[in-house]
């Protein structure tokens, strides 16, 4: 059964429509990547799912229930974990306080959740008392994921987790995402870095101009000559 | 041996204490509700009258009067905000600013209509401690005012750093959108901000009623100093507001001692001068917070 089911979604910002009838379905435990050129509306899909975009039509169902009209905070309460692309930490708060905010809906930060998350992101362990704004870009991305994982959400939505990171850090971040998925968390990512994302994910969606273009298993999309030519800069199959 | 500036420093700490609690509330509202509340002085005036009534007609001691003023001002300020500002929360900074200017005028004149323009003193016994060797004196009143302020700042610090609501407040001030998608109930946070800001204003009001008087414009008279202190400290930063208040207080006290009387007679002129210099030199204030465009 689909854990997250987006049907015929029209969405945008204010009067500006960005998405035109987008479909997305994500099964429990899956790792799904949404790729596509700049301005295709990738991030808008994610913002619409968490309730930050203007809804214009269609339906969003999570765990069998229609969440289309709900406030962002209620959707998070239902079990959506969301990490925005930029400004995804609280810079003047310490690392530990950032994690505490992750536990807001739990009424506090349970020790076992903090331990579990710090174990996943050991780089945070010795930095708990540091101001989050003083962390490096890669560390901030880890903290942002850690914060979203505190309530143990069934789904983690990541908006461009590798944006602005040095190439070696990109792999580290993707390794962490794999690990999160291996622990049973359903993962949806939006990525500019299409090749890496499609190589890592189970299934991918290619979005252009606010519409679904292709959808298939990640490897199949990577090897699809049309997709390669149009969206991956052509050349030989990266897996072949 | 007389210590130079010791007396000015004490006066400065007292002036800073009057300003600080008002400035904290003002800056919290600025950072979390994204509005400049010109009616904040009136919340102070409410506290001054409540403190006066509690002591003179209620016959309670000063600490009890402080507590009563804190509670009454907190609830009144919150209720006023819920009725006036909250319904137009999404309208933007300028409509909220205009609303607060109008609201302040209505409240100020409303209180003048009810209470009259008289200056009402809260009678308290004052003891003066003289340290002639060191060249200064301090009254029990001044110690009380400095002590209450420092205690309130300490409580506020514990609240902001130890409680979930306090940490969530700082998080919301940092990044409201991220707070929202972290599940924080930002409306509940705004309620807490109005309660805290008005409550602290109420305490400041009692301190002013004790050392000056309760009158309809006692809070409004502080507003310019409060805004200056908040900007000096870095608008939106409560710790910056405390630092800014004491810096301003000491600055005024020292300038009173050393500058010709006809210049400093207008202490608001000094506040303006300091404000202009800060805005030119370091617009982010002591805390160097981002200057908001809204």
CA A37/CA A19 separation, integer angstroms: 14
- Rounded mean pLDDT, A165-184: 93
B174/A108 CB distance under 8 A: no
In sequence order, what are the beta bridge partners of A215? Answer: A205
In sequence order, what are the beta bridge partners of A206? Answer: A35, A214
Residue of B nearest to A73 (CA): B183
pLDDT band for position A234 (50/70/90)? low
pLDDT band for position A38 (50/70/90)? confident
Chain A residues inside the 8 Å CB shell of B180: 52, 72-73
Domain for residue B35, yes or no? yes
Spell B64-84 as b/e; 16+ CB within 10 A means b. Answer: ebbbbbbebbbebbbebbeeb
Each residue of B139-177: pLDDT tens digit?
998 999 999 999 999 999 999 999 999 999 999 999 999
Burial (0-12, 13-18, 19+ Cβ within 10 Å), B270: buried
Most B-contacting residue of A92, A140, A150, A159 (CB-CB within 10 A), to test interface:
A92
Chain A residues inside the 8 Å CB shell of B173: 92
Domain for residue B262, yes or no? yes
The size of the A-B interface in CB pairs under 8 A is: 64
State whether residue A153 is helix, strand or coil: coil
**Edge to edge, what strands does the sheet with A65-66 contain?**
A16-27, A2-13, A54-62, A65-66
User: For residue B179, what are the domain limits?
Assistant: 6-281
Alpha-carbon gap: A15 to the closest alpha carbon of chain B (Å) = 17
Total tally of structural domains belonging to chain B: 1
CA A5/CA A23 separation, integer angstroms: 8
pLDDT at B294: 33
Each residue of A192-208: pLDDT tens digit?
889 999 999 999 999 99
A90/B174 CB distance under 8 A: yes
pLDDT at B2: 63
Domain for residue B294, yes or no? no
| Average pLDDT score, chain A | 91
pLDDT surpassing 50 at residue A210 = yes
pLDDT at B95: 92
Question: Crossing angle for the helix pair A137-149 and A111-120, nearest 10 degrees?
Answer: 140
Question: Crossing angle for the helix pair B186-211 and B62-84, nearest 10 degrees?
Answer: 140
Chain B residues inside the 8 Å CB shell of A50: 181
B167/A100 CB distance under 8 A: yes
Alpha-carbon gap: A240 to the closest alpha carbon of chain B (Å) = 40
Domain for residue B288, yes or no? no
Alpha-carbon gap: B168 to the closest alpha carbon of chain A (Å) = 7
Alpha-carbon gap: A68 to the closest alpha carbon of chain B (Å) = 15
Domain for residue B252, yes or no? yes
Least CB–CB distance from A104: residue in B175, B177, B183:
B183
Least CB–CB distance from B164: residue in A72, A76, A104:
A104
Domain for residue B292, yes or no? no
Residue of B nearest to A76 (CA): B183
B181/A50 CB distance under 8 A: yes
Chain B residues inside the 8 Å CB shell of A102: 182
pLDDT at A110: 92
pLDDT at A78: 94
pLDDT at B265: 57
pLDDT at B266: 58
CA B206/CA B44 separation, integer angstroms: 8
Alpha-carbon gap: A76 to the closest alpha carbon of chain B (Å) = 6
CA B138/CA B126 separation, integer angstroms: 10
Domain for residue B68, yes or no? yes
Backbone angles phi, psi at B156, to 5 degrees: -60, -40
pLDDT at B1: 53
Question: Is A47 an 8 Å CB contact of chain B?
Answer: no
Domain for residue B66, yes or no? yes
CB A103 within 8 A of CB A151: yes
Each residue of A106-160: pLDDT tens digit?
988 999 999 999 999 999 999 999 999 999 999 999 999 999 999 999 999 999 9
Its ipTM equals 0.89
Residues 161-200, chain B: which have Cβ within 8 Å of A?
Answer: 164, 167-168, 170-171, 173-175, 177-186
- Rounded mean pLDDT, A21-46: 94
CB B234 within 8 A of CB B284: yes
A102/B182 CB distance under 8 A: yes
CATH code assigned at B243: 1.10.3470
Alpha-carbon gap: B68 to the closest alpha carbon of chain A (Å) = 30
Residue of A nearest to B171 (CA): A90
Which segments in chain B show pLDDT lower than 70? 1-3, 260-268, 288-294
């Amino acid at each position: 059964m689909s854990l997250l089911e987006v049907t015929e979604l029209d969405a945008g910002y204010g009067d500006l429509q960005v998405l035109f009838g987008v479909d997305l379905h994500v099964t429990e435990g899956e790792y799904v990547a949404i790729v596509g050129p700049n301005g295709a509306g990738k991030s808008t899909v994610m913002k619409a799912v968490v309730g930050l975009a203007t809804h214009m039509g269609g339906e969003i169902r999570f765990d069998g229930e229609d969440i289309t009209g709900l406030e962002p905070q209620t959707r998070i309460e239902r079990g959506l974990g969301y990490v925005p692309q930029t400004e995804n930490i609280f810079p003047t708060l310490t690392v530990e306080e950032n994690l505490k905010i992750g536990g807001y809906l739990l009424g506090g930060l349970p020790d076992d959740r903090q331990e579990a998350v710090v174990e996943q992101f050991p780089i945070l362990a010795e930095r708990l008392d540091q101001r989050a704004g003083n962390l490096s870009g890669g560390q901030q991305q880890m903290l942002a994921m850690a914060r979203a994982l505190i309530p143990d959400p069934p789904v983690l939505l990541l908006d461009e987790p590798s944006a602005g990171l040095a190439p070696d850090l990109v792999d580290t971040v993707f390794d962490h995402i794999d690990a999160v998925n291996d622990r049973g968390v359903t993962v949806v990512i939006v990525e500019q870095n299409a090749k890496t994302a499609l190589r890592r994910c189970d299934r991918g969606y290619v979005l252009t101009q606010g519409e679904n273009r292709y959808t298939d298993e990640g490897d199949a999309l990577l090897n699809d000559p049309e997709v390669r030519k149009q969206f991956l800069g052509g050349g030989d199959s990266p897996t072949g | 041996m007389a210590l130079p500036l010791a007396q000015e420093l004490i006066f400065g700490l007292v002036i800073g204490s009057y300003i600080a609690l008002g400035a904290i509330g003002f800056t919290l509202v600025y950072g979390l509700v994204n509005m400049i509340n010109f009616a904040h002085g009136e919340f102070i005036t409410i506290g001054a009258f409540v403190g006066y009534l509690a002591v003179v007609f209620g016959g309670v001691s000063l600490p009890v009067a402080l507590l009563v003023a804190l509670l009454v001002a907190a609830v009144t300020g919150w209720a006023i905000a819920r009725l006036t500002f909250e319904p137009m929360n999404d309208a933007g900074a300028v409509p909220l600013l205009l609303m607060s200017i109008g609201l302040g005028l209505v409240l100020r004149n409303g209180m003048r209509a009810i209470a009259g323009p008289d200056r009402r003193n809260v009678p308290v016994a004052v003891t003066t401690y003289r340290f002639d060797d060191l060249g200064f004196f301090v009254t029990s009143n001044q110690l009380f005012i400095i002590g209450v302020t420092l205690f309130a700042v300490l409580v506020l610090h514990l609240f902001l750093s130890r409680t979930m609501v306090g940490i969530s407040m700082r998080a919301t001030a940092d990044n409201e959108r991220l707070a929202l998608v972290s599940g924080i109930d930002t409306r509940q946070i705004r309620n807490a901000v109005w309660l805290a800001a008005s409550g602290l204003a109420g305490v400041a009001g009692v301190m002013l009623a004790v050392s000056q008087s309760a009158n309809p414009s006692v809070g409004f008279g502080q507003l310019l100093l409060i805004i200056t202190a908040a900007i000096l400290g870095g608008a939106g930063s409560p710790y910056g507001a405390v630092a800014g208040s004491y810096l301003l207080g000491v600055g005024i006290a020292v300038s009173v001692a050393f500058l010709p009387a006809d210049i400093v007679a207008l202490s608001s002129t000094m506040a303006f001068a300091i404000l202009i210099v800060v805005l030119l030199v370091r617009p982010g204030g002591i805390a160097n917070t981002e200057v908001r465009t809204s």
